[in-house]
């Protein structure tokens, strides 16, 4: 994601066009994960559907090598995103199903995704500087092949019954506390949609090399790993709502700093270190709250709904609005406007989220 916008820019697309194309990944998250989540819950075979989405994602990515021009790339990226957007929520529900019976550690498992991001961000930054933006395609093709191969090593899990199993999924979704959680998460991800789609372009326009951009991305994820390792202690000490509110407040600070201090490397380093909270602690706390409402036979659907609303709707709004804002208002104003979304999210969570179980369950993060 950090470099895909740069690839599209090299294909001579405008910022608004890039916003539309990048938003396809988020738009597909609104619909696709719910279909795959329903199939996983209905059949009880999550691994089979993870394997299928990984295979179709690989085949879809191969078509990118021949796709040029807006509408060809639009069609290919739309098809590709319908499958790749579903692999993560299916994997999350599989992980949580295993943790429910093994007393495992979600944060320490999720940390490996962060390590993979660091390797990719750093390696690609220097690879693109040395060999050009086209090297991105070959790198990602290799990742897709390895990912598909690894799905055959995933063990399936038996989902334990839950007290909410007799409820319909919509009885859960329409609860005011669930709506407040999903809306607050969507507002946080809206700001991050601007970040993921346009941060690299924004930095490149201000004279930063691809290698430096990769290092800045990596710093954020290193801090994210540290917070994942500390989450057991943080969740034992602080309530889930307090963690969510603190993360939202720091997101307002982070995006404001990116907007006003882009020419200062030191301020950017501080802003990137806040990724530990704006993504790391926020995501971990959100997943834990989601599991309080969606479990048992609704587990995969619950993760799919969370991804659809937060990352699908939120990411789409951020990607589309960010593209037009970048083109017509400039990068600094775009990131200052992005800071307003977590501010609204803070208000929604503060007023609307009330939890009967205020702290994380033993075993999930400790």
- pLDDT of 335 reads 95
- pLDDT of 102 reads 66
Determine the Cα–Cα distance for residues 190 and 207; give it in Å rounded to an integer. Answer: 26
Does the pTM surpass 0.85? The reply is no
The answer to whether 89 and 58 are in contact (CB under 8 A) is no
Determine the Cα–Cα distance for residues 157 and 96; give it in Å rounded to an integer. Answer: 9
Q: Average pLDDT in the 166-177 region?
A: 74
SS3 label, residue 167: coil
Determine the Cα–Cα distance for residues 308 and 238; give it in Å rounded to an integer. Answer: 28
Domain residue spans in the chain? 4-154+168-352
The answer to whether 94 and 47 are in contact (CB under 8 A) is yes
Indicate whether 165 pLDDT > 60: no
Give domain 4-154+168-352's CATH architecture.
Up-down Bundle (1.20)
pLDDT digits (tens, 9 = 90+) for 185-222: 999 999 999 998 889 889 999 999 888 998 898 899 89
Residues 6+ apart with CB under 8 A from 132: none
**For residue 363, what pLDDT band results from cuts at 50, 70 and 90?**
very low
Determine the Cα–Cα distance for residues 350 and 239; give it in Å rounded to an integer. Answer: 13
pLDDT digits (tens, 9 = 90+) for 81-113: 888 777 777 787 788 777 766 666 677 787 788
For 88, the token pair is: 């993560």
Determine the Cα–Cα distance for residues 37 and 244; give it in Å rounded to an integer. Answer: 25
Structure-model confidence comparison of residues 49 and 363, the more confident one: 49
- pLDDT of 166 reads 56
Indicate whether 255 pLDDT > 60: yes
> Mean pLDDT, the chain, as a whole number?
84
Task: Kindly tell me the sign of the dihedral angle through the C-alpha atoms of 143, 144, 145, 148.
Answer: positive
Determine the Cα–Cα distance for residues 41 and 296; give it in Å rounded to an integer. Answer: 9
- pLDDT of 336 reads 95
């Amino acid at each position: 994601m950090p470099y895909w916008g740069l690839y599209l820019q090299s294909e001579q697309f405008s910022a608004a066009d890039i916003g539309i194309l990048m938003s396809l990944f988020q738009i597909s998250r609104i619909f696709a994960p719910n279909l795959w989540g329903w199939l996983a819950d209905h059949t009880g075979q999550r691994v089979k559907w993870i394997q299928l989405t990984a295979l179709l994602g690989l085949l879809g990515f191969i078509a990118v090598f021949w796709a040029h021009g807006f509408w060809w790339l639009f069609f290919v990226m739309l098809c590709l995103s319908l499958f790749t957007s579903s692999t993560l929520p299916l994997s999350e529900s599989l992980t949580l199903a295993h943790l429910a019976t093994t007393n495992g550690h979600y944060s320490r498992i999720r940390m490996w995704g962060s390590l993979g991001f660091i390797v990719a961000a750093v390696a690609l930054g220097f690879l693109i500087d040395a060999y050009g933006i086209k090297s991105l395609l070959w790198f990602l093709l290799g990742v897709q092949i390895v990912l598909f191969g690894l799905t055959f090593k995933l063990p399936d899990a038996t989902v334990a019954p839950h007290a909410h199993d007799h409820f319909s999924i919509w009885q859960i979704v329409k609860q005011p506390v669930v709506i407040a959680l999903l809306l607050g998460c969507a507002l946080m991800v809206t700001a991050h949609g601007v970040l993921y789609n346009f941060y690299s372009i924004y930095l490149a326009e201000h004279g930063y090399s691809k290698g430096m951009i990769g290092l800045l991305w990596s710093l954020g994820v290193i801090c994210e790993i540290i917070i994942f390792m500390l989450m057991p202690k943080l969740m034992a000490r602080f309530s889930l709502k307090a963690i969510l509110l603190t993360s939202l407040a720091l997101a307002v600070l982070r995006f404001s700093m990116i907007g006003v201090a882009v020419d200062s490397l030191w301020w950017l380093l501080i802003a990137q270190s806040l990724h530990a909270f704006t993504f790391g602690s926020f995501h971990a706390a959100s997943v834990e709250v989601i599991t309080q409402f969606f479990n048992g036979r609704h587990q995969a659907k619950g993760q799919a709904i969370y991804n659809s609303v937060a990352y699908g709707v939120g990411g789409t709004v951020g990607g589309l609005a960010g593209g037009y804002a970048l083109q017509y208002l400039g990068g600094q104003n775009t990131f200052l406007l992005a800071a307003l979304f977590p501010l609204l999210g803070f208000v929604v969570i503060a007023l609307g989220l009330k939890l009967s179980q205020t702290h994380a369950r033993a075993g999930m993060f400790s």
